[in-house]
Amino acid sequence: MKHSRTIVRCASCDGFGWFDEGGGGQAEDCDWCAGAGYVYREGGRDSVIPRSDYTALAEELEALELQRLRELGYQGVAKKPWQQRIRKDTQLGRNPYNEPEDD
């Protein structure tokens, strides 16, 4: 028998997936959600979403992320936390479209 399992925003990092340590560009993954920004909630308990589940959950996570960004007043396209971090290093001085997609 299966418990109903939902995906909820991480209570520790509030969906960000990491903590900015002092603004020096150093970001630490959130321990609670392993950097996903979201966790499984099942029977009142939260647990880390395994990275192997991200692909299957991509649509749901993206919808949650879009909702979160809207709450923050952000109007752009939703990016998952790990995508934002990947892009962080490619924004300045380089054309991101010249970068091969890591698929």
- Contact residues for Zn ion (CB under 5 A)? 10, 12-13, 30, 32-33
Minimum distance of Zn ion from residue 10's CB (angstroms): 3
Minimum distance of Zn ion from residue 72's CB (angstroms): 16
Nearer to Zn ion, 2 or 38 (CB): 38
Nearer to Zn ion, 63 or 96 (CB): 63
Minimum distance of Zn ion from residue 75's CB (angstroms): 24
DSSP 2-45: PPPEEEEE-TTTTT--EEESTTSS-EEE-TTTTTSSEEEEETTE
| CB-count exposure of residue 13 (10 Å: 0-12, 13-18, 19+) | buried
